[in-house]
A and B are shown apart, each in its own frame.
Chain A
Amino acid sequence: MKEIAVLDTSFLVNIKLLNILKYLCEVFNEIIISPEVWNESYQFHSELENLACIKILRLENEEIDKVNQLHDEFKQSYPGKHRGEIEALVLSQSRGYSLVVSDNFAPWYIRKHHDEYSKVNIFRGTYFIARLIEIGVLEVDFTEKLKGIYSIKDISRIRKRYSNHE
């Protein structure tokens, strides 16, 4: 079963470097990209534009207010710019979509402090890779390429679960 997901920049960058960005539409019916994530991904817009399932979604005023509030709050404890991942989280929450991130610290922190985000389904890149193995796009051996990106424990779990997968 395919699904709709909101993606953040770090996830897109990680799968681009693994050369599996092209498989996004095999797993997701529709991929939602927020304006900030789109701007942050400008170096590989041409690759993203080739994907038929990608949709860049403009935020409603109420969503922009939530993003500003959460970004200000998060920045008080953690320096730097985090707008892309926060836009992705707010869009996931308000529209009821899953969120796929590599930066799951910020969504985890916000979920911990704001109950309304506790129901957002948050997935990491390993979910996407595991789904690609499940549907037969990738072989289990692809997990060899994940060293240094995902923990040895995560990689072993995928290998164990799918080594007899048909």
Chain B
Amino acid sequence: MSNARQMAEEYMKNFEEMEKEARKERKKSVKWKIVNQRCTQKQIDAIKLFIEYRLFEGAASIAEMTVLDFVLLLEELEISRV
């Protein structure tokens, strides 16, 4: 088995633990003051969903943006996608 495949399988086996850590990192990266100043209410709701569950498509649809534009917004706001 390749190293890449082995790493991927380990990740899915430990998904809950890995996701818990990732969520902490996402939460820590959000500067809510800047988000509240720059974003619409729909974008704020979308960011909240994204921070909790990393649901890219779900969050983008709430923000009424494409996935690409939503990810660019996250990059601009320096929000972690971990």
Contact = CB atoms under 8 A, between A and B. Distances in A.
Interface in A42-98: 42-44, 78-85
Contact of A151 (B8, B68, B71, B82): B82
A79 B49 contact: yes
Contact of B8 (A8, A105, A123): A123
Contacts, number: 117
A42 B65 CA distance: 13
A118 B64 CA distance: 32
A105 B53 contact: yes
B5 to A, nearest CB: 7
A79 B57 CA distance: 10
B81 A104 contact: no
User: Chain B interface mostly helix, strand, loop or mixed?
Assistant: helix
A4 to B, nearest CB: 14
Given A13-B68, A40-B66, A148-B29, A126 B56 contact: no
Interface size class of B (residues with CB under 8 A): 35 or more
B50 to A, nearest CB: 10
Contacts of B57: 8-10, 40, 80-85, 103
B78 to A, nearest CB: 8
B19 A153 contact: no
Given A40-B67, A148-B81, A9 B56 contact: yes
Interface-central residue, A105, A153, A154, by most chain B CB under 10 Å: A105
11 contacts: A13-B71, A43-B69, A78-B49, A80-B46, A80-B55, A81-B57, A102-B54, A122-B8, A149-B82, A158-B7, A161-B7
Interface of A: 8-10, 13-14, 16-17, 40-44, 78-85, 102-106, 108, 121-124, 126-127, 130-131, 134, 148-151, 153-154, 157-158, 161-162
